[in-house]
Structure 1
Amino acid sequence: MTTSREGDIVTSDKVLFGLNLETGVDQVSEILRHARTADDAGLDLVSISDHPYFADRIDAYATLAFVLGATRNVTAATIMTNLLSRPAPILARTVTGLSTISGGRFVLGIGAGGLWDEIVALGVPRLSPADRVRALEEAITVVRALSGGGEPVTFDGEFYQIADLMPAAAPPPPIWVGALGPKMLAVTGRHADGWIPGHLADWRSPEVARARPIIDEAAASAGRSPADIATIYNVSGRIGRETLSQTRDEDGRWLGGSVAQWVEELTFAVLEHRAAAFVYLQAPGEIISDTIVNLWAHEVVPAVREATAAR
């Protein structure tokens, strides 16, 4: 990143590190304990996924409100917001409210939606892939318009209509978009503060090599600097003391390794591939062991920060 906005957690000289929290209704104690651990350890953010159609998972925004109340410094993020079940004007009120009450400790992660059989069960009309992209672009426009104060907003879009609605005083939170398709990548380049590659794609993957130039071209065409759009990676895998002989599978997917192997790989991602943030996560339904949380927060993260501080 080369620029920053007041209130953003992204700065020109700081790589961000986060922890994705559990979501199960039977994992409340782990959610709050790990959020406090991340806060105490000096991690930059905690995140949670948003799947309101699953009864065995807690609502993401209700959870983040509790997490923000239980912590002091860490930023909370939705990765990713289930957009079509949260209409953009209401989403704007929610995120500016969370930003206000937490002192700006919120990031809006957003995508076009993936599990459509589950989404339509909520009573949401099924949209075509092209419609989803246009709806996402409108939603970002509406969220930004209804933030930062100013005059009443009227917007007559294809998917959202508002009339003479006053924007909240709080500035818009940073907006990170999850995308891999060309049209979504172009929206990211035109509007987003950050990009999250899908399906755990990482800095060595051909998907990222193909996708990032599309973002950069769209940003430049919109009069933006491509460097203003951070790349945020979700990372997963084993963290331990033992050095592994193989850290990637046959398809090139990262498997994890020792603390030293993690530090080497993430440092490479920052220095050679402009990685701006990493969020450690486990598979849905699993609980992140306290051992893993502590190795990530107290050993991997400080070492990568030190190795990349002078970049």
Structure 2
Amino acid sequence: MSQRRVLFGASLGQWNGADVGNVPGVLEIAAAADRGGLDMFTIADHLYFGDKLDAYSAVGFLLGRTSTISGAVIVTNLPTRPAPALARTISSLSALSGGRVILGIGAGAIWDMIPQLGIPRLTPGAAVRAMEEAITLIRALCGGGEPVTFDGSFYQVTGLQPAPAPAPPIWTGSVHPKSLAVTGRTADGWVPSMGSDWLSARYRESRPLIDAAAVEAGRDPAGVASIFNFGGRITSEPLAQNRDDAGRWIGGSARQWIEEMTAAVLEHGAGGFIYRSTDDTPAPVAVASFAREIVPAVREAVGRP
């Protein structure tokens, strides 16, 4: 089992992004996560929603207001951000922040809305092939070296100079078998969709496909971390039931969170957690509690500070 550092983060909003009308709250969540020693803040990417903050504008601004935490778009809606431009964006953020950036990337969400931006619709298979080309090209355009010429089905560049900043960790939000195979072949991490955790059927059925593709590509499957969106409420007293009837985690006391997350790492190989509060507690307060009461104890329990 890999002994990589376990990562802990906080989400800046819901699945569909951070609200334009809640800028003070978004800023304070990021600040609380940074003060609390978390590893990352995350934000979703859906340019077709006018009431949501643009993900990369938000990440760049927040990296400038924080000191140690990394920023991640989970996940970049690739059809709306062409790979060569995305490579320049991510390498610039890396250079400006001292490497405090993670690239989450996906083949495209809500395809019924993407064409509203004037972007041609791709079939699911084509979108996955475009994602794999994009990951390959973005890596080539980071880290210096000789000019890059790439002649793919979806991306073509000729003699393009790579940026000197190295490529950041690349995570995907893959769902279906073909995109899961791309994750195994090319990515550093995987964020299961719909808040699925290590006990879910989605994880049990999907992770073996990633591992098999990694092995076939000559990679160590342990090199692809599983990073879970793990929302819930932190209660002052233990809950008699920590999961709902569908098996989804709903929360509990700090001790119950610690026990659950420690088991996830030691027994199921979890590589990280992205926290989102699901009750009426103000999100910055909940994030501060998560960082103060839960994360240090999990780090100590798993022996990976």
TM-score for both structures, normalised by structure 1:
0.93
Hey, what does 1:290 align to over in structure 2?
A: 284
Q: Cα RMSD over matched residues?
A: 1.6
- Contact 2:147–2:159 under 8 Å retained in 1: yes
Say whether 1:48 aligns with 2:39: no
Say whether 1:37 aligns with 2:56: no
Q: Structure 1 residue 307: deviation in Å? A: 1.1
Hey, what does 1:20 align to over in structure 2?
A: 11
Which range moved further: 241-250 or 269-278?
Answer: 241-250
Q: Structure 1 residue 310: deviation in Å? A: 6.4
Aligned pairs for 1:207-222 (under 5 A) are: 207-222=202-217
Hey, what does 1:117 align to over in structure 2?
A: 112
- State the one-letter code of the partner of 2:257: W
- State the one-letter code of the partner of 2:158: A
Hey, what does 1:62 align to over in structure 2?
A: 57
- Contact 1:30–1:287 under 8 Å retained in 2: no
- Structure 1 residue aligned with 2:159, among 161, 164, 167? 164
Aligned pairs for 1:117-156 (under 5 A) are: 117-156=112-151
Say whether 1:246 aligns with 2:245: no
Aligned pairs for 1:252-267 (under 5 A) are: 252-267=247-262
Distance 2:37 2:58 in 1: 20
Distance 2:206 2:109 in 1: 18
Q: Structure 1 residue 109: deviation in Å? A: 0.4
Share of identical aligned residues, percent?
54
Q: Structure 1 residue 168: deviation in Å? A: 0.5
Partner SS for 2:71: strand
- The one-character-per-residue Cα deviations of 1:128-153 (angstroms, maximum 9, x if unpaired) are 11111101001101100111111111
Hey, what does 2:295 align to over in structure 1?
A: 301
Hey, what does 1:72 align to over in structure 2?
A: 67
Q: Structure 1 residue 291: deviation in Å? A: 2.9
Say whether 1:105 aligns with 2:100: yes
Q: Structure 1 residue 242: deviation in Å? A: 1.9
- Contact 1:80–1:109 under 8 Å retained in 2: yes
- State the one-letter code of the partner of 1:225: D
Taking structure 1 as reference, are residues 43 and 56 closer, same or farther at Cα in structure 2, changes over 3 Å only?
same
Distance 1:67 1:195 in 2: 23
Aligned length: 300
- Contact 1:196–1:231 under 8 Å retained in 2: yes
Distance 2:206 2:19 in 1: 32
- State the one-letter code of the partner of 1:68: L
Distance 2:125 2:301 in 1: 42
Distance 2:156 2:226 in 1: 31
- Contact 1:24–1:56 under 8 Å retained in 2: yes
Distance 1:44 1:297 in 2: 10
Q: Structure 1 residue 13: deviation in Å? A: 4.0
Q: Structure 1 residue 306: deviation in Å? A: 1.3
- Contact 2:233–2:277 under 8 Å retained in 1: no
- Contact 2:211–2:221 under 8 Å retained in 1: yes
Partner SS for 1:26: helix
Hey, what does 1:8 align to over in structure 2?
A: none
- The one-character-per-residue Cα deviations of 1:169-228 (angstroms, maximum 9, x if unpaired) are 110010001112111110000000001111111011121111111111111111111111
Distance 1:282 1:193 in 2: 26
Structure 2 unaligned spans of 5+: none
Q: Structure 1 residue 114: deviation in Å? A: 1.8
